[in-house]
Amino acid sequence: MNDAFQVKSDPKLWEKLGMDVARFSGMPPMLTNAYQNIFLSQKNRPEKMAYFDDMVANIHTGRIQEIYDAKQGGKPVIGTFCVYVPEELVVAAGGICIGLCGGAQGSIADAEKILPRNICPMVKSAFGFKVGKICPYFQVVDLVYGETTCDAKKKTWELLDRYVPTHVMEIPQMKRERDKRLWLDEVKDFKAAVDRIAGTVTDFDAVASGIRTINAKRAALQRLNTLRHRNPSPISGKDMLLIEQIAFYDEPVRFARKVHELCDELEERVKSGAAVAPATTPRIMVSGTPMALPNWKLHHIIESSGAIVVNEESCIGTRYYKDLIDEGGTDMEQQMERLTERYMKIDCSCFTPNDDRITQVLKEYEDSGAEGVIDYCLQFCHTYNIEAVKLREACEARGIPFMAIETDYSPDDVGQLQTRVEAFIEQIRG
């Protein structure tokens, strides 16, 4: 345990961002405590995790200051809620793209003063952060870009627009040729909107550079995910999830460099046999809805129950980095088409049919050397919840142990989930 670790505070900066400083001041100590218990209590962590610990220590200060300074320098800062919004085009315009999905219970009461209670906790958490003025990222963005992936999101954006300018990108729900054309137009509209805020028109070279930068970030995560699949695992599932979460707010070039430094260390660990758990530890793959910061609930339950998480088939996971954009486009039109083609491969359950996702889950199960799948569904997410039926059938047909859970951010069901996870691990152990 590292008692010196502390999530830092900067009330003056928060004041400048128009936050509810008095209320937010309680957040860093709470996060410090949770981080020490969940992450720093782990044994034999890779040394290069120090950078990512530091990113958490600076989550409300140093990184916010960087973004604030960039904004003062005229760079556009855009918040997003979904991996369908192409961050390459924000980077191409010299801007910063921040994932704003909410993963905390603390902002849900703020949201429930306005929104119905029986909707997805991720939507409520994000909305509550803005309404309560208790998220520095929400306060620093110029505008947010939502999408039409699910009903809870698309209707919430209409209300969110009262608090922060909210643009909405239409994501088709099928992948036919006419849907692809619609999507291409949406991507072009997005580029125009970003360019307007940046006061520029990004040209071919700038877009090529944005694509290279984000491809490099995704490639670094691919390398890391391949290394974490080794048995015995050189890194815990919790640390991997944390890195996947940090990917949504760190500066992309620095982030990729730090991920590669960690990979270099993991390669050494693999050679020397240094691991975070013995090779006999039950290996679990998690699939399903994303886990936004600081949602570490399921991973902590699984890894405290004697198993290790070896893959996240999730948007904060492989769905974010499994595909790269073809860099061979020779004019702007081709670049946009190739970018759109890559985004069309994201297999979110908002699509119908979405059988590619079932195939992908089975592939990742094989690649990761997992011994069971836990499908994670946030409460009231109907598309993932119903898609779990097909996923269960596909897993059971192949003899893959499968468990579906539906939960939210509240600690109330932790005991019950722990019991179910322990029984599942026993089933894997045979």
331 phi, psi to nearest 5 deg? -145, 175
8 Å CB contact between 139 and 309: no
Residues 248-287 within binding reach of ligand BJ8 (CB under 6 A): none
Cα–Cα distance between 158 and 60 in angstroms, integer?
Answer: 27
What is the torsional sign of CA 129, 130, 131, 133?
positive
Size of interface with ligand BJ8, in residues (CB under 6 A)? 19
315 binds ligand BJ8 (CB under 6 A): yes
Q: What tokens appear for 99 in the block?
A: 């994932």
Q: Which amino acid does the sequence have at 267?
A: E
**Residue with smaller CB distance to ligand BJ8, 39 or 157:** 157
Please choose, out of 119-127, 220-228, 276-284, 416-424, the segment that lies near ligand BJ8 by the rule CB under 6 A.
Answer: 119-127
How big is the chain by its Cα radius of gyration, in Å? 21
**Residue with smaller CB distance to ligand BJ8, 156 or 305:** 156
Cα–Cα distance between 38 and 300 in angstroms, integer?
Answer: 7
Q: Which of 49, 91, 120, 394 binds ligand BJ8 (CB under 6 A)?
A: 120
350 binds ligand BJ8 (CB under 6 A): yes
The residue among 346, 241, 222 whose CA lies nearest residue 286 is 241
**How many CB atoms within 10 Å of residue 267?**
14
82 binds ligand BJ8 (CB under 6 A): yes
Q: Which of 139, 149, 287, 407 binds ligand BJ8 (CB under 6 A)?
A: 149
Q: Which of 64, 108, 122, 395 binds ligand BJ8 (CB under 6 A)?
A: 122
CB of 82 to ligand BJ8, least distance (A): 3
84 binds ligand BJ8 (CB under 6 A): yes
8 Å CB contact between 251 and 31: no
Please choose, out of 54-62, 148-156, 220-228, 411-419, the segment that lies near ligand BJ8 by the rule CB under 6 A.
Answer: 148-156
290 binds ligand BJ8 (CB under 6 A): yes
Q: Which of 38, 98, 298, 346 binds ligand BJ8 (CB under 6 A)?
A: 346
Alpha-carbon distance values, 210 to 214, 265, 375 (Å): 6, 28, 33
Q: Which residues bind ligand BJ8 (CB under 6 A)?
A: 82-84, 120, 122-123, 149-150, 152-153, 289-290, 315, 346, 348, 350, 378, 381, 384
